Amino acid sequence: MAPPIPVGLGMGNALFFVVAISAALYLAYRWALPKPIPGVPYDESARNNILGNLPELVTMLRDTGKTRPFFIRHPQRHQSALTQVWMRPLQKPSLILADFRESQDILLRRTREFDRGTWNTDAFNGVVPNHHISMPSADPRFKGNRELVRDLMTPNFLHEVSVPQIYAKTMALVDLWSLKAELGEGRPFNARRDIFDAAIDIINAAAFGLDDDQSTVKNQLDHLLSKPELRPTPNADGSVMFPELPTLPTIVAIEEIGNHLGEQFKSPFPRLSHRFQMWKSPTLAKSVARKDEFLRDEINKAVVRLRKGESGTRSAMDHILQREMNAAEKAGREPVFHSHRIHDELFGYIVAGHDTSSTALAWMVKNIADHPEAQTKLRSALRAAYSDAYAKGEQPSVVELWKTQVPYLDAVLEESLRCNGPIPVTLREALVNTEVLGHKIPKGTKIFMVSEGPGYQSPPIPVLESARSPSSRDKNLYGSWDPSDMHLFNPERWLKTDEKGNVVYDAQSGPIMAFSLGPRGCFGRRLAYLEVRIVLALLVWNFEFHKLSDGLSSRDSYDSITTNPHRCYVSLTKVT
């Protein structure tokens, strides 16, 4: 019979195991704590939390529905142009850069060191995985995808195909708002839906050449005209609400998918979030199926038209399909019109092209109403630029609107984007070990570059010139804003007098990154500028926008793909 184990020895072993396990857990905890990049400021509370800054972001999202303000406030909190944060557990730190000159340098001249970050590509990956926006530049698919769509932003395509559609759909909006101003007797109404619908009409027409029967704004106008007995319903805040037709099913699907995509930008794990939402939401899955059906139908109709030899390119889809036909003929193969990349490039063109423009226009409408002196100057500048049309009581022509330079129009447009850019944060990722503002940055580090706050609407955070990259020191292309008034809406800051004594618009007057910069900036930047320029000109040409009460003119916003105003109301008087 074995001798009994002494009680003291058994307790000693147990104590040893408890101590060993506790030590191992403590060491694992210490190992899991965030590891900062030396010399870059950070929050001590985040440094001592396995979750890093994630709890603060989650709290902000829960309380405000936004996360983007975090990236603007963090550098201000530390009064440092470069700070570091931990967005997820067990990850390297990410950087926040609040300095325009260094951001511009990274986006324009350091493209071999930095590329689109995985956070951005992950956000788009669930909805349009085969669109070039979802790909890093080194992806073997990227070059072919960009080749497929590269001509969609050329001046010829924009002026011959896109601009006529922008003009026609904007005039439908002018007609709708003229009727609403009359029926509502000038009382305020919610303009956000109309702006959304007009922007989706414009991008759908440019993408597919859709006719008026699929125009939401035109259908809404016809609905109000066909029922003269309909009257707007007054609200307690002094605004009125107009009866609306049900939204077309395809537009509902596009809107739901766009909203879903916007949610991915607020998620720390966008790929997982997308899969979960697709499993959880039957309506989202149905919207994706409806979107796919819509794309198939429109492509099939276009293929029939192209094979009949009908001349002319009337849409982005026609152009893309013609490119595929040419490539297939050259390669001796059958064309593949329903490839994932064609479907995703077309849908990405719609979603990205619509959301940025509609958001920019919503803020512009609010800004011109809030600043009547700028609105009056703009209307006078337009009447002077299009003097023949004004004298005849007509609308400026399509060609006049894109061809005639109106410096004050560009100044108002750019100032609105400076004050309320659609996307206030641009993300890149370090491809190699490198430096930012004198700090060693390891490969794989994400860097969030803000385009609001310091340097844009508030005084810049000082940076030692010696800490900048050599190319940043040598090639500073832009001016800077006067700290005494950079918080104000002032279009004149974009104007200067040239050597001939003419007042001209200067795009490089000071810091702005409304659509990012460089080769991986917003692909649809040219289309967006053309659209908002034409829409803004025609709206101010036709209407006086009245200043509203504080409640209706609230500047509160929410995050989606872009940063949108919660409230966008207008009170209009038709001008002659």
Residue whose C-alpha is closest to residue 256's, from 232, 221, 213, 290:
290
Residue with tokens 């805040």: 237
Residue whose C-alpha is closest to residue 173's, from 407, 395, 415, 363:
395
Please say whether the beta carbons of 457 and 418 come within 8 A.
yes
Question: What share of residues in the chain are helix, strand, coil (percent, to 5)?
Answer: 55, 10, 35
Q: How far apart are CA 434 and CA 445, in angstroms?
A: 10
The structure tokens listed for 408 are: 């004050």
Cβ neighbours of residue 309 closer than 8 Å, sequence gap 6 or more: none
Nearest-10 Cα torsion for 127, 133, 137, 143? 100
Apex 99 CA angle, 97 and 105, nearest 5: 90
The helix (H) or strand (E) run that includes residue 277 is: helix 270-280
Supply the DSSP symbol for 159: I
Please say whether the beta carbons of 370 and 553 come within 8 A.
yes
Residues forming beta bridges with residue 426, ordered by sequence position: 449
522 labeled part of a ligand binding site? yes
Residue with tokens 């649809």: 524
Q: How far apart are CA 215 and CA 218, in angstroms?
A: 5
The structure tokens listed for 181 are: 């101003």
251 C-beta neighbours (distance < 10 Å), count: 18
Supply the DSSP symbol for 205: H
At 125, is the secondary structure helix, strand, or coil? helix
Q: How far apart are CA 244 and CA 322, in angstroms?
A: 38
**Judging by beta carbons within 10 Å of its beta carbon (0-12, 13-18, 19+), is residue 47 exposed, middle or buried?**
middle
Residue type, 227: K
Residue type, 466: S
Range 224-247 burial, b when 16+ CB lie within 10 A, else e: beeeeeeebeeeeeebbebeeeeb
Reported in sequence order, the residue ranges of 354-479 that DSSP labels E, i.e. its strands, are 425-430, 434-436, 439-441, 446-450
At 409, is the secondary structure helix, strand, or coil? helix
At 563, is the secondary structure helix, strand, or coil? strand
The structure tokens listed for 194 are: 């109309």
Q: How far apart are CA 568 and CA 576, in angstroms?
A: 24
Considering only CA atoms, give the Rg of the chain. 27
Binding-site residues: 522
Binding-site residues for heme: 522
